Amino acid sequence: MFRIVAFDLLFFALPFIAYAVWLLSTRGTATHGRDWTGPVIGLLSLVGVILMVIALIAVIHFNAAPAGVGYHPAEVKDGRLVPGEFE
């Protein structure tokens, strides 16, 4: 679960990181308040949410089990934990 949350936070933060890198490369600083106005933050947030949704769809699509496959949940056998598996 942590991996998915960290993955989504990374994709949400990518537009902000890219904008900060662009500010640093063109203006030499990314700390001026006039560069981080409300509309800019709103646009970066919107792009971040779109990237996050695309990343979630990709993770769900590529981590899903094939159709018609059953799942055996994890169980304890002879004192050992046997992980769940698709069959």
Q: What is the DSSP letter of 40?
A: H
Look at residue 16 in the predicted model and tell me its pLDDT: 97
Residues in the chain: 87
Task: Count the domains in the chain.
Answer: 1
44-70 pLDDT tens trace: 999 999 999 999 898 888 877 777 788
Whole-prediction pTM: 0.71
Per-residue CA distances from 6 to 2, 10, 12, 13, 73 (Å): 6, 6, 10, 10, 26
Q: Residue 21 is part of which domain span? A: 2-86
Note whether 20 and 30 are within 8 A (CB). Answer: yes
Note whether 33 and 27 are within 8 A (CB). Answer: no
